[in-house]
Structure 1
């Protein structure tokens, strides 16, 4: 079964609440599927991009919305999606990440066993450390909060879609068990979900011209069938055998792993960076094999390295003689192309490299959402169509910002004001590190 062969659409009229929404990605994918969404995003720079792209947004902290504004969310939101920050769960270093991981697992079980919000907050306070530790619990807390929300008449989210880097797989496995056990209502009954196998997927296996791995959780309300994972459409890139699965590999025409249709060759970055004239190569900002002096190199006939927040540091040279090209760094638009954003996606605000690197590739998001919602995939060419930019005087732009910031220009009094956030008119500085996804144009 391919992503487009999924069963009957569920829910019939999906409306996505996208937590940690970022500048665009999962919700751009939703736009391609003609699905509405509302994103909650903390970072001002990412919100600037979202407004320019026409994406419905609340510039707010996800935790604050849950605590004080949950009942103001649209009552017909029925799909919960998000990719919370993950940095505190790294298994590298002195073991602090592993300790946090185990504590958060305990809190997942506590929430499903009926622990109250204050109890959970108190236990998180005891863990201490990085405040991002608590954010991975927010999707579960939102799902439980919906069950007691008068504005929703206690209706649960029909579908839950979570994504994150492979390091968070252990938490998604615990989420899976919790959702299958059932979320607690105040009357003691439970709302159960059917959950697909938690699996780490390669984005190049879905036509994205970069190697990137994301761990996915997809859940549907019990009684509507276990959701399928998106089936791959392209070969996975093997850096040890860089020609295998590529356009010049005769074996790519053969079926793989029982797939009814042959997998297509992985997509090389040269196919999407058409403005780069002649053969080129990209030198990674990261060291290969742990040696910072040994930079990895990918050629125009291969997928790119993972696009990260440091993508602007990757050097671009002529292949094979290594001469610097002009420009000798990837532009923001080119980095967005490698992420499969539309070619004219209106990046705005500061720290645009970080915005691009944090986003879910829209093409990958299309596959994940189509599988989760039982919808056919639209043609990939839709993502290569023009997107456009809303002028700041456009009535739609003013409407979006008024809703998102509660002010027609600039930020309102209740917008997040953490250290490091900047206005779009200033040079970029570092803001709270984020992961996860995405955006959606809702000018419909």
Structure 2
């Protein structure tokens, strides 16, 4: 079969197709590092090409298979929270299908993020949609998790086309089930490295991209752990990542402290992110594959954007009508793989940040005051403005988030309650102790410590202090309000209704369920926000 590869990236489509005996006549990609990587591994002489500007008459003829992965940025929910320019993204989908319509191949297949399935489905039924004119191309739309097809990574993608999907699915029982632990163990072996998927073998010294990042420092560890296990909106993730399951999705962009980072290790040896080689292997690329980029982040981007060749290999066999019984296993097909003569340049891994912008932003939920579904108390610095270190409380559904302003007015109103006045008097020493710790710093000094320009009290320490204080308030209220729980609910609901019109308060059920800890947070947050500490501007040595 003869194929062309549109939006080719670093060659995930081309590698899988070629290993299955398909001739890839031409590939088209615009990003220079990806072009260099494609050429270096496939022996080609591609030049950067904008697929949108391709002239249809310049395309090769007699093509049996058109494949490709149009850019997913505008469709991805990780891009501006799903607020990408869908019309811009549509241009590449239209262009891909224009090529298919022009070449009339026997088979075609497109890969993209799951959200594209909705776009394609709407396009096939809406006469006014730009994709409607391609409704006769025999499009079938599937959401496929590559971990079910031999890739050691849970990666859900939209696969659309007219390939024999039933045949692809028939391959599943014959495919290996590899885990994150399998990949990490194989890549970090001593002596010869045996590819955990493709079976090819190289001496450890010949396997590039095995340089590991340094362990996460205490601050990075805290940020990483909290983003995964205490995120106010999204579901919890395991920390560290589970080794005996397929990995989570390998992403194109992530930092040492981002929620998307895959982190492995333990408290004794330290926690680290994955090397480029480990990421590439999770993406189904063999240990022979080279990544010709100028930096670690650039390599991470090209790997994270790729389609696993383990899956494209299966597509190629299905297009040729090969049965599950006759499918050549990955480990057998991989015996022909060898490393290109030119090794990829060595690019040092990302290191921990030493200093940060003076206005580095901070935002963290207070321990013990996390209620999921977006309801939380958080300490934030107003995007680096040192006078803006405040505790804020948010509640309500994501489409209608509300805030209770934690200020002197709220504190005065709450102090009218005999129950609360008595509690504040009983815990006066506890509040004074926290105030005393804060006096060792100032808003400006706290910001300086957060930007690593000086040592001293840090914002996570402040968040912990306030969370612990709220916990003690909660315990006191719990014992004092046994017979007055309705009053506690009333204080919370009255605060939530402040400034609202009508009787409906979003998230009222959750507010009443967690009334005691919420009241504790309201008291501590309003107390903190009105402290004279906020007016301190101590000189920082």
Query: What range describes the TM-score normalised by the shorter chain of this pair?
Result: 0.5 to 0.7
Does the alignment pair 1:270 with 2:259?
A: no
| Partner in structure 1 of residue 270 of structure 2 | 324
| Partner in structure 2 of residue 356 of structure 1 | 303
Asked if 2 retains the 8 angstrom alpha-carbon contact of 1:312 and 1:331, the reply is no
Q: CA RMSD for the aligned pairs?
A: 4.2
| Larger RCO of the pair (alpha carbons < 8 Å, separation 6+) | 1
Aligned length: 300
Does the alignment pair 1:302 with 2:245?
A: yes
Map 1:142-161 onto structure 2 (within 5 A): 142-144=99-101, 146=102, 156-161=104-109
| Partner in structure 1 of residue 92 of structure 2 | 135
How far apart are the structure 2 equivalents of 1:75 and 1:364? 26
How far apart are the structure 1 equivalents of 2:16 and 2:76? 28
TM-aligned CA deviation for residue 26 of structure 1: 1.5
| Partner in structure 2 of residue 43 of structure 1 | 31
Asked if 1 retains the 8 angstrom alpha-carbon contact of 2:75 and 2:113, the reply is no
Map 1:110-129 onto structure 2 (within 5 A): none
Asked if 1 retains the 8 angstrom alpha-carbon contact of 2:29 and 2:50, the reply is yes
How far apart are the structure 2 equivalents of 1:289 and 1:72? 53
How far apart are the structure 2 equivalents of 1:65 and 1:32? 27
Asked if 1 retains the 8 angstrom alpha-carbon contact of 2:146 and 2:153, the reply is yes
Structure 1 residues 385, 175: closer, same or farther in 2, change over 3 A?
farther
- Residue 162 of structure 2 aligns to a residue whose secondary structure is strand
TM-aligned CA deviation for residue 83 of structure 1: 1.6
Asked if 2 retains the 8 angstrom alpha-carbon contact of 1:32 and 1:366, the reply is yes
Does the alignment pair 1:340 with 2:272?
A: no
**Higher alpha-carbon Rg:** 2
Map 1:239-318 onto structure 2 (within 5 A): 266-273=177-184, 274-276=186-188, 287-288=228-229, 290-291=231-232, 296-310=239-253, 313=256, 314=261, 316-318=263-265
How far apart are the structure 2 equivalents of 1:343 and 1:93? 30
Asked if 2 retains the 8 angstrom alpha-carbon contact of 1:312 and 1:353, the reply is no
| Partner in structure 2 of residue 83 of structure 1 | 69
For residue 13 of structure 2, the aligned residue among 26, 38, 50 is 26
Structure 1 residues 311, 15: closer, same or farther in 2, change over 3 A?
farther
How far apart are the structure 2 equivalents of 1:304 and 1:60? 33
- Residue 228 of structure 2 aligns to a residue whose secondary structure is strand
Structure 1: 5+ residue runs without aligned partners?
1-13, 105-130, 147-154, 221-225, 235-261, 393-423, 429-444
TM-aligned CA deviation for residue 227 of structure 1: 5.3
Structure 2: 5+ residue runs without aligned partners?
191-214, 350-541
Q: Note the alpha carbon deviations across 1:318-357, whole angstroms, 9 max, x for none.
A: 34x45326xx432212211111111120111231100000
- Residue 163 of structure 1 aligns to a residue whose secondary structure is strand
- Residue 298 of structure 1 aligns to a residue whose secondary structure is coil
| Partner in structure 2 of residue 54 of structure 1 | 42
Q: Note the alpha carbon deviations across 1:286-345, whole angstroms, 9 max, x for none.
A: 6357459977432322211111113674465434x45326xx432212211111111120
- Residue 28 of structure 2 aligns to a residue whose secondary structure is strand
Map 1:347-426 onto structure 2 (within 5 A): 347-350=291-294, 351-376=298-323, 377-381=327-331, 382-383=333-334, 386-391=337-342
Structure 1 residues 277, 78: closer, same or farther in 2, change over 3 A?
closer
- Residue 228 of structure 1 aligns to a residue whose secondary structure is helix
| Partner in structure 2 of residue 166 of structure 1 | 114
Asked if 2 retains the 8 angstrom alpha-carbon contact of 1:307 and 1:338, the reply is yes
Asked if 2 retains the 8 angstrom alpha-carbon contact of 1:287 and 1:295, the reply is yes
How far apart are the structure 1 equivalents of 2:79 and 2:249? 22
More divergent stretch after superposition (205-214 vs 369-378) = 369-378
Structure 1 residues 177, 44: closer, same or farther in 2, change over 3 A?
same
| Partner in structure 1 of residue 60 of structure 2 | 74
TM-score after normalising by structure 2? 0.48
TM-aligned CA deviation for residue 132 of structure 1: 4.2
How far apart are the structure 2 equivalents of 1:199 and 1:331? 31
